[in-house]
Structure 1
Amino acid sequence: MLCDLSGMGLGGVPVFNEQISMALAARGHDVTLLTVTPVNDGHEGVKLHTVEPPKGQVEGRHWLEQQCATKRPTVFGLPDPNQQPFDLIIGHSRFSGPAAVAIRDSWYPNARVAHFLHTSPERLPFFKYVGDAGKATEKAARDSGIERVVMARVDVVVGVGPLLTDEAKRLAATNQQVPSAHELVPGTVIEPLVQHAQRQEGPLQLLGLGRAGDTLKGFEDAAQAVKLLNARGLAAHLTIRGAPKEDLARLQEELREHGGEHVTVLPFSTHRDALKNDIRQADALIMPSKHEGFGLVATEALGHGVPVLVNEDSGAARFLQDANRVPSQLGAPCVVPEPANPAHRIRAWAKAIRQLKEQLPQRTEDAAQLREILKSYSWEHAADSLVQASTTAPAPATGPGAPEQARATVQGPEGTVVQTTTQTIQTSQTIETTQATQTTQSTAPQSPLAKAAALTSRGRSTTGVTPQGTKGVGGPGQGPANAARPQPQQPPKPQGPSR
C-alpha cells in the first residue's frame, strides 16, 4: 500500500487507505504501508514504513513518487527487491498511483498493481472552481492526464463505488492498453443500532460531515434550506462538523449568513468517539454535495441505523439506487434529485428534508433495514473482492476494441466478485478539456513516471502477469505471460494470503 497520508482526520483518501489496509491485514494478508508522513495510531496489523522527510516545498505525492523510483526500497525498511516479496501493490489516484507504478517498475517487477480512482478528475474541478473555467480546465487536463498515464501501466483499475468505476473505465479506455476494471464498495462499520426516543418537541436535528468552507460540499444550500423550513414552520437545525480551529469563527459567521441561528459549525475532530457521538445524536445525516465520488459519511451513518439524505450526483446515491443491492423502497427515498436549474437546489433540499421529517418513524425503520444490508458490505468484504479481482485479472486488452474486451467485475454481497457484461465505454470529452489535455501534455514538465510510460518496464512483460504466477495466491506460473486465458463469469477465489 502506498499513500502520502494515512489515517483519521486527514481526508477521505487517508481514511479509506487506513480502513482497507487494516481489513486486508484482518483477512490474513501480509500488508505493508509506505507513507510520507509517519502514522501515529490505528492501522492494526499493518507494517508501517516511511520515506525520508521531503526536502523543500515538494508535495508529498511527488516526493513519494521520486523516492520510490530512485531509492532502493531497503532504505525505507522494505524487503530486498531480489526476493520479489510483493504480490500486489496498491496506489490511490494521482496521490500515490504514480509512486505505486514507479516502485513496481523499478524494484518489484513481478508484482501486480491495482489503481484506485477516488475522484472524477475531469468533472471535479468545474465544481470547485465555479466562475474560473480556465483554471478548472487546466486542472482537469493535468489531473486526468496523470490518471491516464498510470492506468496505462496497471493490471486493474478500481473504482470506489459505481460512479467512479464508470469514470475509471472511461479514462482507461483512452489508452492503447486497457486494464481490467473492478467496482469496489467501500466498507461500512456496523455500530450498535441507534434507539432514538421519538421527539415530540424540538427541532429536527440534521448533521453534515465535511469541509465546512468548501463550496463543493453544498452546506450553503443546506443552510438556506433549513432557514426556509424554519420560516415556514418546520423547526430544523443543521450541525456541520468540519472546520479548522483557526477558521471556526469565520465559517460559523459565513454559514449563519445563509442559515441564521439554525446552523452550528463545529471544528474538525480526529477522535472517532466524538464523530460517532455526533451521528448518534442526529435525527438524520445529510450529504448536500454538488458532486461526490462516493461519500463515506452516508454509509457511516447508516452503519448506526441513522437515516440519510444524499445528493443524486454521488456514488452513494448510485449504490442506494441499485435495485440489485438495495430494495428501491429503502434506497430511493434517501436520494435528493439534482434539479436541472442549480438555482432550485435550495428548494429541492428543503422539500426532501420536510418529507424526511414527516416520515421520520418510517425512515428510521428503513435505515435500520439498510444497516442490515450493509452488513454484507464490510471493509473485510471489500478487501476480499479487491484481492480476488486483482489476482485473477487477465492481461490488459490491446488493439481495436480493447475497451469492450477488457474484463469488468463488481463486488457483490459478502465480498463476492461477479463479472459484468462489458458495455461500450464513452470516451468523448468536451473540446475544451481535450485541447487543454493536449496542451498540458506537450508543455508540462514530465515526472519520472511520465517519461517512462512509453517504455517496457524493467523485467516486466507489457501484456501483464498471469494470475497463476502470483506468489501466495496459487501455484507456480503456467505458460507464457501473454497466453490466452478464459474469463469465467465468477473468477475463482485465490487460495492463501497475499503480500
Structure 2
Amino acid sequence: MVPRSTDEDIKAASDVDVALVTPASIPGLNSRELLLLRPVFADSSWEPDVIIGHGRVLGSYAAAQKQQFFSRARRVHFVHTDAEQLEAAKEMPGGTSRMASADERRNLERDLARSADLVVGVGPMLTATITDDLIGLSPRPKIMCMVPGLRSAFDPASASPPVRNALLVVGRADDFQSKGIDIVADALLKVVDRWPQSRPHPPVLVLRGVPGEAATDVKARLDEIFEGRVAYHLRPYSDSEELVKQDLAQSRVMLMPSRHEGFGLAAFEAIASDIPVLISAESGLAQFLRESHIDTEPSSIVTTRNTSTRLAIDEWADAIWYVLTHPAPSRAQAHEMRKRLSEIVDWRTAVDYLLAELDGLD
C-alpha cells in the first residue's frame, strides 16, 4: 500500500510480482494521512491475511489498517532502529541530551511491537534490543530475527574496477555525528597527508544522501576538518537505483563509520556487489558477520570508539590506507565475503522463515 502511484510505479512493481494499491484520493490530505484510509483493491471483497508495518514511523499506519478495516489479519511489526542507541549516537560530547526524544521513540516502538502478532528484528542487534524491551510486558508477541538476502546492485563480473580512489559513504549526512562522518573525515585527512605526491589519484570522499537544506552545513563542517587538503563531493539523496549502482561501481571502498547502526543495509548491498567495505563495529551487520565468522584480513570491521591506547580515527586511517594501496587483494577478499554470505543468507529462506513463523501463531 502506497499513498499514490504512477503508471510507471505500478508497472515496475508488477514486473516483480508486486501489486500496488492506493486509497481513494482526497484533497487536503497529505501522504501519511492517506495511509489511514482503506486501500482500494481490484476485488472489493478481498482482504489481506497479513499486514506488515515498518518501524515506529510507518508501523502506526499498519496498526490503524488492522484496527479499522482488517481485524482478522495478522499484523507483523518490523524493527529497523534502536531509538536509545541512535539518539545517544547523535549527542555531542558535553552537548544537549536527547533523552526525551529517545524515550518517546523507544516507547512508541515498544507499544507497536507489543500489540503486534509477530515482531521481526532486522539482524541480531535489533532483535536483542526489542526482545529485552518487551521483557515484563504481557501479552508478549512472538519475536524472530530476519537477515535480508543479498541483492546485488549490478553484476560484479561485468564491472571493471574504478581508476580513481573514491570512498563512498551512503546515509543522511546531516546526521554528521551518528553517521560518524567526522571520524572518516579526520581519518581521510591522515591518509591524504601520507599520500605520496608521485602516486596518482589521491583519495576523494563521496557523500550520497545529503538533504538539500543541510548541504551548506555539511560542507562547512567538512571544510573545517579538511582545510582544503582533501577533495570531496556531496550528492543528494536519491531513490534512483541507477544512481546507486553507479555510486557503488565507481567506488574503491564503501565506508559505514556510524557510531551506531541497527543493521547497515547500505554496506550489505555493497558486499552483495563485491565492493570492499569498512563497517562500524557498532553495527548489527558487524555483529552478524562476527557471529557467522565471516570477515577479511585485515578486518573489514573497524571500531568507532577510542581506547586508552589508540584513537578510532587511526584505526580507520590504517584500514582505508590498506584498501586503497592493495586494491586487487581487497577486491578479491570482498568477492570471497560475498560468496560466503550467499551460502547462509538468501531472500527465499528469509521469507520462508517468516511465513513459517506466521503459520505457527495460535
TM-score band (shorter)?
Answer: 0.7 to 0.9
Distance in 2 (alpha carbons) for counterparts of 1:197 and 1:331: 20
Distance in 2 (alpha carbons) for counterparts of 1:232 and 1:375: 37
Aligned to 1:185: 147
User: Looking at both structures, which has the greater relative contact order when contacts are Cα pairs under 8 Å and sequence separation is at least 6?
Assistant: 1
Aligned to 2:51: 89
Distance in 2 (alpha carbons) for counterparts of 1:337 and 1:258: 20
Aligned to 1:208: 169
Distance in 2 (alpha carbons) for counterparts of 1:332 and 1:232: 20
Name which of structure 1's ranges 212-221 and 334-343 shifts more when overlaid on structure 2.
Answer: 334-343
Mapping of residues 378-417 of structure 1, within 5 Å: 378-393=346-361
Name which of structure 1's ranges 97-106 and 372-381 shifts more when overlaid on structure 2.
Answer: 372-381
Q: Secondary structure at the match of 1:178?
A: coil
Aligned to 2:260: 291
Mapping of residues 128-167 of structure 1, within 5 Å: 128-130=90-92, 133-134=96-97, 136-167=98-129
Distance in 2 (alpha carbons) for counterparts of 1:185 and 1:331: 24
Q: How far apart are residue 256 of structure 1 and its match?
A: 3.0
Q: How far apart are residue 105 of structure 1 and its match?
A: 2.9
For each residue in 1:292-342, what CA deviation from the matched residue of structure 2 results, as whole angstroms up to 9, or x when unmatched?
11111111111221110000111111122122xxx4444881110232459
| In the alignment, structure 1 residue 349 sits paired with structure 2 residue 310 | no
Q: How many residues get paired?
A: 343
| In the alignment, structure 1 residue 303 sits paired with structure 2 residue 272 | yes
Distance in 1 (alpha carbons) for counterparts of 2:219 and 2:155: 32
Contact kept? 1:209, 1:241, Cα under 8 Å: yes
Structure 1 pair 115–242 and aligned structure 2 pair: CA distance change class (3 A): same
Amino acid in the other structure paired with 1:46 = A
Amino acid in the other structure paired with 1:43 = A
TM-score, scaled relative to structure 2: 0.83
Q: How far apart are residue 55 of structure 1 and its match?
A: 4.9
Amino acid in the other structure paired with 2:303 = P
Q: How far apart are residue 167 of structure 1 and its match?
A: 1.0
CA RMSD of aligned residues (A): 3.0
Contact kept? 1:339, 1:348, Cα under 8 Å: no
Aligned to 1:114: 76
Distance in 2 (alpha carbons) for counterparts of 1:331 and 1:88: 43
| In the alignment, structure 1 residue 43 sits paired with structure 2 residue 18 | no
Q: How far apart are residue 189 of structure 1 and its match?
A: 1.4
Higher alpha-carbon Rg: 1
Q: Secondary structure at the match of 2:267?
A: helix
Mapping of residues 212-227 of structure 1, within 5 Å: 212-215=173-176, 216-227=178-189
Contact kept? 1:212, 1:265, Cα under 8 Å: no
Out of 334, 338, 342, the residue aligned to residue 371 of structure 1 is 338
Contact kept? 1:148, 1:175, Cα under 8 Å: no
For each residue in 1:167-196, what CA deviation from the matched residue of structure 2 results, as whole angstroms up to 9, or x when unmatched?
121122241111111111123213311554
TM-score, scaled relative to structure 1: 0.62
Aligned to 2:300: 334
Aligned to 1:127: 89
Distance in 2 (alpha carbons) for counterparts of 1:270 and 1:92: 18
Distance in 1 (alpha carbons) for counterparts of 2:109 and 2:238: 31
Structure 1 pair 109–270 and aligned structure 2 pair: CA distance change class (3 A): closer
Distance in 1 (alpha carbons) for counterparts of 2:183 and 2:234: 15
Q: How far apart are residue 279 of structure 1 and its match?
A: 0.8
Percentage of pairs with the same residue: 28
The answer for unaligned runs of 5 or more in structure 2 is 197-201
Contact kept? 1:64, 1:99, Cα under 8 Å: no
Amino acid in the other structure paired with 1:392 = G
Out of 206, 210, 214, the residue aligned to residue 243 of structure 1 is 210
For each residue in 1:450-471, what CA deviation from the matched residue of structure 2 results, as whole angstroms up to 9, or x when unmatched?
xxxxxxxxxxxxxxxx3xxxxx
Contact kept? 1:212, 1:242, Cα under 8 Å: yes
Aligned to 1:477: none
Distance in 1 (alpha carbons) for counterparts of 2:298 and 2:108: 35
Aligned to 2:199: none
